[in-house]
Structure 1
Amino acid sequence: MPAIRFLSTDAPATLALSAAMLAALAPWAARAEEAAPLSPIVVTGRGLDDTPATPAYDVTEIGREVLTTSASGRIEDALSSIAGFQQFRRSDSRSANPSAQGVTLRALGGNASSRTLVLLDGVPVGNPFFGYIPLSALAPQRLGAVRVTRGGGSGAFGSGAVAGTIELTSAAPGTMGLLDGEALVNDRGETQAALTAAPTLGQGFLLASVQWDRGQGFWTTPKDQRVPASARAGYESWSAALRAVAPLSDTVEIQAAGLVYDDRRTLRFAGADSTSSGSQASLRLVGRGDWQFDALGYVQAQDFSNIVVSSTRFVPTLDQKKTPATGIGGKFELRPPVPEAHVLRLGTDVRVADGKLLETPVSTADGQITSIRRAGGRTSDLGFYAEDDWTLGTLTLTAGVRADRWTVRDGFYREVAASGAVMSDTRFADRSGWESNWRGGVVWRAAGGLRLRAAAYTGFRQPTPNELYRPFVVFPITTNANADLGNERLRGYEAGIDYEPSEAIALSLTAFDNRVRDAIANVTIDATTRQRQNVEAVRARGIEASAALRLGTVSFAGSLAWTDAEVQGKGASAGLDGMRPAQVPRLAASATLAWAPRADWRLAATLRHVGSQYEDDLETDILPAATTLDAYAEMPLAGRFSAILRAENLTDTRIVTRNQAGSMDLGTPRTVWAGLRVRLGR
């Protein structure tokens, strides 16, 4: 595996910026500590509190205990406990191509771009060019909680929340203690290590975290399809995060954060290497006085590279050398003092994404570069929103509106032959427009822990620069970009019932009907060609159910999503009408049974089922259903140390992640981990 190096996206600069911000916070923390006897200060490290109408939408929360005790130790594994969560493919972030790591909810998938907005402490983390989520950089050990809102119930940055929103919140001393670290090795000799510390800093606190994973990987190619050029899915990834929170006054706190990461993988064939790297920094002010506010600004830089190897001659055929992308954005939300029955939110947010690719096709005959391709462009969104929650006894009403000014600019595609002759030089027309959207809901809190809710909403998503300008190849299929793609538009409805008669029981059931008009899909043109196109719509109707039970030291958590999803096609996509979107299962379910006799003991088993999926839009190649069993055990040793045993896919179920006319890739086989964990200050 290649050695770790600094990122081309200027990770040292990001670390220096983060360190400078942290140093700037120290005097404020010291002053706050001096003032503490006269004016107690509470620092949370979070944004503003939830509004009373948050439960009007289908919301599920994942606590730190679940996040840090999954069988794989990876964030996508923990998120899979929410039925309906899925990546574009079934592969995890060790064995998937990073550009295929789009995430979605409610069976509204069909391509590799995320239709779900993923936020880390309020900052969108999706790649600005591709839209994929850098999952390997989101270490569960540094998180305190995750909240998943399925459907279009989103306020700030709502332009990306077509299928829902996943909000990741960093840990704080109150949720993790002073230090949490672990180191493990598996039966293939692969290693995983993470260390997170959250010391107090005056009246504030600091979060510092590093994680490093490395391994030879497993065989993704079935044994009967391997050739001498076949290779294991080797990987090496690391990330580091710094975050500081300090009070500026008794009602205002400042939050500064930085993240850097690097991820390298080999997929299917020797030499088919990919990299995903990035860095980001953010600054946030949160005020909890009479005039509450949340002001956030961020900058991020990411890069991606990939070498495509021919599956017939087993030599490089395309070198996607680099895809540098930048994202700049922020938000400001104000909650003015209003009568007690109301909570009024007024806000604006902005995101600007810019990216370019450089790639060189390579002759399989002599290995010479045949041409040089460059493509890219810029998209932006400026949004304004207002929302009011109105509580009338046991009834809470909510209504909100958004207006978004979007632009697509500076799009181009240029290809120059190795001889210097210009083969293509296209500049695409700039576009812009306005989108208006709304959402509303009602919650009735009946007696005995019963809650009834209903909601309706609209939303939209811009196509990414990747969808607009970058073609890609998964041999033998070439998928072409489409600079004329329009925005996706959502309209959805849902109704649900929640029952929590005590802290030991929580039951939830939701029925929904969501429709994404002009959904972007990879549409088959001929046997070897697809193109990104806006199909008439993708409609998903179904039910989502969850249950959480705790009887003394034994707990159970389960969720289920059954979805009838179909493409509604007209015109060029008429042949897709009535078909299920690619990569979308009809049924997904998860159940975890755990026993925790003491705070430092945990034994758990998780059973997951994912129904059959189609590889392509024409339903010609199927990915069979898969049921897996995971296990986790933590047992105390001396002092603050614990022994950890983890087992992924304990029954060694065959998980097909790709199937193109019988050419297959496989997911994680049975994998057993063992290691140590240390926790201090709990």
Structure 2
Amino acid sequence: MKTYRSIRDIAASLLALCIGMTTTSAHAAEADVETPANAIVVTGAGLESGPAEPAYDVTVLDRAEVTTSASGRIEDVLSSVAGFQQFRRSDSRSANPSAQGVTLRALGGNASSRALVLLDGVPVGNPFFGYIPLSALNPERLASIRVVRGGGMGAFGTGAVSGTIDLTSAGPDEIGTLQASALVDQRGETQVSATTAPRLGDGFMMASVQWDRGKGFWTTPRDQRVPASARAGYESWSAALRAVAPLTDTVEIQASGLAYDDNRTLRFEGADSSSSGQQASLRLVGRGDWQFDVLGYAQAQNFSNVVISSSRFKKVLDQAKTPTLAVGGKAEIRPPVGDAHVLRLGADVRLTEGHLVEMPYSTVSGLPTAFRRAGGDQSDFGLYAEDDWTLGAFVLTAGVRADRWTIRNGFYRELDATGTVSENTAFPDRSDWNVNARGGVVWHASDMLSLRAAAYTGMRLPTLNELYRPFVVFPVVTQANAALKPERLRGYEAGIEVRPSDAILLSLTAFDNRLKDAIANVTVDTNLRQRQNVDAIRARGIEATANASLGQWNFIGSLAWTDSKVEASGSQAALDGMRPPQVPKLAASATLAWAPRPGWRLAGTVRHVGAQFEDDQQTDVLPAATTLDAYALVPLAGPFALVLRGENLTDETIITRNQAGSMDLGLPRTLWAGIKLDL
């Protein structure tokens, strides 16, 4: 396909350019080592968020909160944020990667992400499926995480229909010369990582690797195991390289690269899945009178999966590969329009092409019965403008975004076992413009009290996976739907923040979101579902957070209560008023940490997730679960420290899948011990 080749060529060029720029930046920085008097401070981050961003529900996690979770995994860290949810309760050691969609505001219901996840400004979601490669996002590399709930604006706003999760990489101030750790748990599983961020002249570099490996735990309940049952074994690695250097006293260049590979086995021997990818980006950030942020990136990702029959325990489907390419970028400028205004003008683009290759197998002969290919490409070009206006104690914000999107070259082709074409369908191309807006106000009533309100709209395109790729979670088959319409969001919210002192912050937000034409997996027959647009998902609720730092003690708490319902009519009328699958009414988290001396940290975390439904018919329930985690960092000699971690210490039974009584379980009690080096 011509589009595939053009995207591939652009991606290859950008990847090569990033590698060359990384080397050039390092050499240039080394050349400046002898002139520290001319040193310029670089941040490695993008432009600061506007003064009106607090009009929306915002949570910021600092490095201490990010790097001291009981599991050392990014999804565990984000679970402390009110409203954050994965499609399933499994973490990235025991879930199928394609189920790792993340969302906010209880707008879930299928495995695609409805929240935009950015790493240093680059969208990291798999372009074909919409899942997030969670195992590739090592918390040790991060300085902070910023979560903004509600319909997004700015660059890549079409992915932020429920909000934005912005990950910022750490630099020399947070990492230093070297940070490394090696841990082992009671099952013999290991987690090893090392990160270095040396200063090189006026700039710096960051290099990081992580390797996780384990035989896993039994996801199948004991009374449902058969000889073919297998532990949830996993092995994953990721590597990141980043260089930041100044070009002038106000302009810096950032070059980044990320590569990862993740392999898992789920439920049965041979039920193996893999997720791999490489991405590179170049970014120019200017902080002069005319501020700007220009970014370009390329991504290549792949996914494979083998489905094993739960009755014959033989391979029934080999999803051999799903190669996907994406290139994109943004350009934003902030002209000097006075101290009272922060005006953002920008454009962004994202081009995606992907297809699947799969073969169904006979459980009798063990031979393939067909050969299938399906896929297509998408594009989105956006223009946006937003202004924050400070008027005394009030900060007003308003923005508009226009998107031109296309869905093109969709196809489904199948050959039978003899090589004869049994189906060859080309789906019609589609394109349109979509305009969204948002606005809000913050009133700083006093040093202790702030009030805020906001309204917004948003959009999400169906993924190539939803459009063209059927899938099986045996025995349930879910069909694709090439006629899916984009989802459209309308939302309102109001909140209050109380800061009795510099050490205490309390926040409460009430919201009402409606996702029109929400894409759901709708039951159409026994063990048969299809992706369809329902009339809407309506989510109304409250989100509360509390932060307190009192001497050696620190407390972080969050709670999300949401009444989320499907609005449906016609052939889907039976779904009207039901809760979307996998969406709990209540989720809460509380972490209490104690640092009795410098370098020490002792922390405990309690989390509760309410009952959820497995399916759209509300026939299978996932019971509520409450877990207790713990973390301890105890200095030893010199730069070494002892790390102790405990996950699910009470050994709570966590049901992650329930299809007519056939169940998968989540992580049991897991105890880790290891050494951390900090130079």
Partner of 1:179: 178
What does 1:244-259 align with in structure 2 at a 5 Å threshold? 244-259=243-258
Partner of 1:417: 416
What SS does the corresponding residue of 1:29 show, helix, strand or coil?
helix
Partner of 1:291: 290
Aligned-pair distance for 1:19?
3.9
What SS does the corresponding residue of 2:135 show, helix, strand or coil?
helix
How far, CA to CA, are the matches of 2:138 and 2:421 in structure 1? 45
Contact persistence 1:154–1:165 (CA under 8 A): no
Contact persistence 1:604–1:631 (CA under 8 A): yes
Amino acid aligned to 2:628: L
How far, CA to CA, are the matches of 2:527 and 2:466 in structure 1? 18
What SS does the corresponding residue of 2:168 show, helix, strand or coil?
strand
TM-aligned CA distance change 1:34 to 1:404, over 3 Å: farther
Partner of 1:74: 73
Q: Does 1:388 align with 2:368?
A: no
1:378-428 per-residue CA deviation (whole Å, 9 max, x = no partner) reads 011000000111100110000000000000000000000010121110000
What does 1:291-330 align with in structure 2 at a 5 Å threshold? 291-330=290-329
Range with greater deviation from structure 2 (503-512 or 607-616): 503-512
Aligned-pair distance for 1:9?
13
Partner of 1:463: 462
How far, CA to CA, are the matches of 2:338 and 2:303 in structure 1? 50
Contact persistence 1:442–1:454 (CA under 8 A): yes
Range with greater deviation from structure 2 (544-553 or 15-24): 15-24
Over the matched positions of the two proteins, sequence identity in percent amounts to 70
Aligned-pair distance for 1:449?
2.4
Q: Does 1:518 align with 2:517?
A: yes
Partner of 1:527: 526
Aligned-pair distance for 1:26?
3.0
Amino acid aligned to 1:169: T
1:81-130 per-residue CA deviation (whole Å, 9 max, x = no partner) reads 11211111000000000000000011000000000000000000000100
TM-aligned CA distance change 1:48 to 1:32, over 3 Å: farther
Amino acid aligned to 2:278: S
Amino acid aligned to 1:228: P
Q: How many equivalent pairs are there?
A: 672
What does 1:157-306 align with in structure 2 at a 5 Å threshold? 157-306=156-305
What SS does the corresponding residue of 1:447 show, helix, strand or coil?
coil
How far, CA to CA, are the matches of 1:197 and 1:675 in structure 2? 19
- TM-score w.r.t. structure 2 length? 0.97
Contact persistence 2:70–2:646 (CA under 8 A): yes
1:192-244 per-residue CA deviation (whole Å, 9 max, x = no partner) reads 01101110011111010000000000000000000000000000000000001
Contact persistence 2:302–2:324 (CA under 8 A): yes
What SS does the corresponding residue of 1:580 show, helix, strand or coil?
coil
5+ residue gaps, structure 2, are 1-7
How far, CA to CA, are the matches of 1:112 and 1:416 in structure 2? 28
Q: Does 1:22 align with 2:55?
A: no
How far, CA to CA, are the matches of 2:448 and 2:203 in structure 1? 36
What SS does the corresponding residue of 2:22 show, helix, strand or coil?
helix
What SS does the corresponding residue of 1:99 show, helix, strand or coil?
helix
Partner of 1:5: none
Partner of 1:509: 508
Partner of 1:491: 490
How far, CA to CA, are the matches of 1:676 and 1:429 in structure 2? 57
How far, CA to CA, are the matches of 2:419 and 2:451 in structure 1? 67
Contact persistence 2:36–2:201 (CA under 8 A): no
Stretches of 4+ aligned residues off by more than 6 angstroms: 8-16
Contact persistence 2:80–2:557 (CA under 8 A): yes
Partner of 1:4: none
1:6-45 per-residue CA deviation (whole Å, 9 max, x = no partner) reads xx9999999876542211113543566566535x522000
Partner of 1:607: 606
Contact persistence 2:156–2:348 (CA under 8 A): yes
How far, CA to CA, are the matches of 1:268 and 1:307 in structure 2? 11
How far, CA to CA, are the matches of 1:669 and 1:538 in structure 2? 33
Aligned-pair distance for 1:555?
1.1
Partner of 1:573: 572
TM-aligned CA distance change 1:392 to 1:15, over 3 Å: closer
How far, CA to CA, are the matches of 1:533 and 1:603 in structure 2? 47
Partner of 1:448: 447
How far, CA to CA, are the matches of 2:242 and 2:326 in structure 1? 20
Range with greater deviation from structure 2 (499-508 or 80-89): 499-508
Contact persistence 1:449–1:499 (CA under 8 A): yes
- TM-score w.r.t. structure 1 length? 0.97
Partner of 1:355: 354
Range with greater deviation from structure 2 (29-38 or 154-163): 29-38
Contact persistence 1:116–1:165 (CA under 8 A): yes
Aligned-pair distance for 1:570?
1.3
Amino acid aligned to 2:427: F
1:649-681 per-residue CA deviation (whole Å, 9 max, x = no partner) reads 00000000000000000000000000000111x
Contact persistence 1:543–1:561 (CA under 8 A): yes
TM-aligned CA distance change 1:15 to 1:460, over 3 Å: closer
TM-aligned CA distance change 1:148 to 1:447, over 3 Å: same
What SS does the corresponding residue of 1:65 show, helix, strand or coil?
helix
How far, CA to CA, are the matches of 2:262 and 2:146 in structure 1? 26
How far, CA to CA, are the matches of 2:103 and 2:554 in structure 1? 28
What SS does the corresponding residue of 1:51 show, helix, strand or coil?
coil
Range with greater deviation from structure 2 (49-58 or 260-269): 49-58
1:317-361 per-residue CA deviation (whole Å, 9 max, x = no partner) reads 000000000111000000011121111100000111110100000
1:28-68 per-residue CA deviation (whole Å, 9 max, x = no partner) reads 43566566535x52200000111111111100011111111
Partner of 2:3: none
What SS does the corresponding residue of 1:240 show, helix, strand or coil?
strand
Partner of 2:45: 46
How far, CA to CA, are the matches of 1:13 and 1:431 in structure 2? 29
What SS does the corresponding residue of 1:482 show, helix, strand or coil?
coil
How far, CA to CA, are the matches of 2:138 and 2:293 in structure 1? 25
How far, CA to CA, are the matches of 2:26 and 2:192 in structure 1? 29
5+ residue gaps, structure 1, are 1-7
How far, CA to CA, are the matches of 1:511 and 1:257 in structure 2? 38
Partner of 1:367: 366
Amino acid aligned to 2:24: A
